Structure 1
Amino acid sequence: MPDPSPFWTPDVHADRRPFLMARNRIQAALRGFFEDRDFIEADPATLQVSPGNEAHLHAFRTEAMNADGSTAALYLHTSPEFALKKLVCAGEARLFSFAHVYRNRERGPLHHPEFTMLEWYRAGEGYEALMGDAAAMLALAAETAGARHLTYRGRSTDPFLEPERLAVADAFDRFTGIDLLATVRADGATDRDGLAAAMRRAGLRVADDDTWSDLFSRALVERIEPQLGQARATILDRYPIAEAALARPAADDPRVAERFELYACGVELANAFGELTDAAEQRRRFEMEMAEKARVYGETYPLDEDFLSALAIMPEASGIALGFDRLVMLATGAPRIEQVIWAPVARTDHR
């Protein structure tokens, strides 16, 4: 049966309209932020040969029909990342995009199958510059929406305070008592049994078929993420290299990567990298991700060979992807992501 309150009914739209007007104002303000800093806006194509190569991201597949009647698979991208990095390789030094992106198997208060990702790149600059960008955007979004705090489900973050920068290993120690890096070797290899034992001591569930990555994610989701971005935003930094397929290793510790995520109100808002530009290493990591995807889900996605070729001329750069709809939610106090999307995708599960 259809949704009993579709978005197009006048009374429902009247309730949603203040959120949507705030969305437009925030988007205009963020465009101004980039223009003031000499960024160029790009609008990459949605259809791609590869939707991305992360094991647990699920794409929508479609089919291109050629003039001779033959067909070829194409995918709706899960991120504009590959296209934007090619443009960085082409010579664009400061680049941003408000891109519609698509992720299958995702729907909930914070997830929508089609959403807007704000992604930007700085060539020749370290990923610390992105931390400053992200902090400034939290304040700008709140100011534009007329909000003193970001809010979600009873949690509150002051967006005008400098975020806390917290290493992942320190977060594990603080919130679980686990010495995470004791289970990561100098070459990045992980000790599954060592982490499993530490998880059990911490009172966290361990299943026989859990991988190290499964255990890492469970501790992060259950014990750590709910504590992040309280009172002020959190920059969760220096992920283990096994959890950073597109990031370069940290210069001072090869066990961790130049990757951070931004949290407010316990909600993950952004994911950033010091970009990996070693094509051979990137291919190896993609192949590992697709092997894991085949093991868990019984499917894989093709690699973007153009992207791997482009990495040979990619300058050092940093890049970040921010969930724009989530930022609008927190700035306006909207309870669900559909409230800040102009025309949400119809539900298919009849709930």
Structure 2
Amino acid sequence: MSTEDWRPGAPLENLRRRAQILARIRAYFAAAQVLEVETPQLCPTTVTDPHLHSMQLPGHGYLQTSPEYAMKRLLAAGSGSIYQIARVFRADEMGRRHHPEFTMLEWYRVGFTPDQLIDDVAAVACLALGETRCVRHRYRDLFRTRLGLDPLSCSIDQLRAVARRHIDLAFDEADRDTWLELLMSQVIEPTLGIDTLSFVVDYPPSQAALARLRLDDEGQVVASRFELYHRGVELANGYHELLDADEQRARFAADLREREALGLPAIPIDESLLAALASGLPDCSGVALGLDRLIMLAVGGDSLREVIAFSPASPVRSTRTQPERTRPENQG
């Protein structure tokens, strides 16, 4: 970018629309008596997930991919329901719908079930998008009806064969979740929420992250997690939050083993979060929503550059050694 190119990349009218949407969101949470909070974006540790790539500032710590851990410490301290509009960072390649720095709306409702939180998310999304229909799909049903396989019981060979029929692949070996997420992101997602808000529920237990597990109505163990899509764009990722500190520690340890297998640097486990869980996190459901993407859709845009005042001149690249797994990113 030349020094002469100092003007904002987004039209000023879009930036005014952005400000209006943020004001509506703050008014919505104020009316619901949900407390706005701020937590540090630079912390000594970060997420252990091998498929989220944090930015590290040597000698200072990590820029956060989400404010989740600090917000859960506030919840355990008795804050009640809270929300935050946060700048967050991920060292991923930049594209039309990805930026290494973006704006996330994250909130936690104490005592809410996932179904109640889905209604909450729909209300927030409609503040930007206007009135729209909402539909819900089970993850398992989407794979059954659109790809002809059961994602909870099919083999890796079956997943590979179906992926080859639908996607031009540059690799062959991958783990089960990578195949599932490739099929979800490349084949199913683009068809979701074309003229609705589409919520996908009941993900495989291996994709639970910080969500609880439960039995579905067919007796299968699933993650108590949902995602929101509109016009084929992933907007939000929500959980019925895990309360068990020992289970969370075991999941962190599994992440670190996978990081080692992938040749990724180790991440120190967030002992403050585990201590907060051990002290007693209240029963709650939480969600992260990509505000930049939501606003992009609200203005009828096709690129984040249309709603972000100043975009990076070049992509920030990660050091991936494996095919990218499209993890729930809630990007903006």
- TM-score band by shorter chain is 0.7 to 0.9
Decide which of 264, 268, 279 is 2:245's aligned counterpart: 279
Deviation at 1:135? 1.0
Equivalent residue in structure 1 for 2:293, among 305, 326, 331:
326
Distance in 2, matches of 1:226 and 1:311, equals 37
Confirm or deny: 8 A CA contact 1:238 1:258 kept in the other structure: yes
253-262 or 310-319, larger mean C-alpha shift: 253-262
Contact 1:275 1:319 in 2 (8 A): yes
* TM-score normalised by L of structure 1: 0.83
Q: Select which of 146, 149, 163 maps to 1:178.
A: 149
Give the structure 2 partner of residue 151 of structure 1. Answer: none
Per-residue deviation at 1:4?
8.9
- What percent identity do the matched residue pairs reach? 38
SS of the counterpart of 2:53? coil
Deviations 1:58-86 (Å, cap 9, x if unpaired)? 1110134xxxxxxxx51000000000011
The answer to whether the Cα contact below 8 Å between 2:194 and 2:232 also exists between their aligned partners in 1 is yes
Aligned in 2, Cα 1:3/1:302: closer, same or farther, shift over 3 Å?
farther
State the 1:335 CA deviation.
2.4
Give the 5 Å matches for 1:212-223.
Answer: 212-223=176-187
Describe the shift of the 1:348–1:140 C-alpha distance in structure 2 as closer, same or farther (beyond 3 A). closer
Instruction: State how many pairs are aligned.
Output: 312
Describe the superposition over 1:223-244 as per-residue Cα deviations: whole angstroms up to 9, x where unpaired: 1111111121110111001011
State the one-letter code of the partner of 2:86: A
What residue ranges of structure 1 are gaps of 5+ in the alignment?
65-72, 144-159, 184-190
Is 1:80 aligned to 2:67, yes or no? yes
In structure 1, what is the Cα distance between the partners aligned to 2:290 and 2:305? 13
| Residue identity in the other structure for 1:335 | D
Q: Distance in 1 between matches of 2:312 and 2:98?
A: 11
Aligned to 1:115: 102
Contact 2:45 2:62 in 1 (8 A): yes
Contact 1:241 1:254 in 2 (8 A): no
Q: Partner of 2:56 in structure 1?
A: 61
Q: What residue is the counterpart of 2:117 in the other structure?
A: 130
TM-score when scaled to structure 2?
0.87
Distance 1:173 1:208 in 2: 23
1:26-175 correspondence to structure 2 within 5 Å: 26-64=21-59, 74-143=61-130, 160-175=131-146
SS at match of 1:258: strand
Alpha-carbon distance change, 199 to 342 in structure 1, aligned in 2, over 3 angstroms: closer
Give per-residue Cα distances to partners, 1:255-300, cap 9 Å, x unaligned.
2111000000100000000001111111111222232233234223
Do the aligned residues in 2 keep the contact of 1:3 with 1:347 (CA within 8 Å)?
Answer: no
Judge conservation of contact 2:225–2:237 (CA < 8 Å) in 1. yes
**Greater C-alpha radius of gyration:** 1
CA contact (8 A) 2:107 2:286 kept: yes
Unaligned runs of 5+ in 2: 317-332
| Cα deviation, residue 198, structure 1 | 5.8
Query: 1:295 matched to which residue of 2?
Result: 261
Tell me: higher relative CO, structure 1 or 2? Use CA pairs within 8 A at least 6 residues apart: 2
The answer on whether the counterparts of 1:178 and 1:199 sit within 8 Å (CA) in structure 2 is no
Q: Which amino acid aligns with 2:285?
A: S
2:93 touches 2:315 (CA, 8 Å); kept in 1?
no
SS in 1 for 2:104: strand
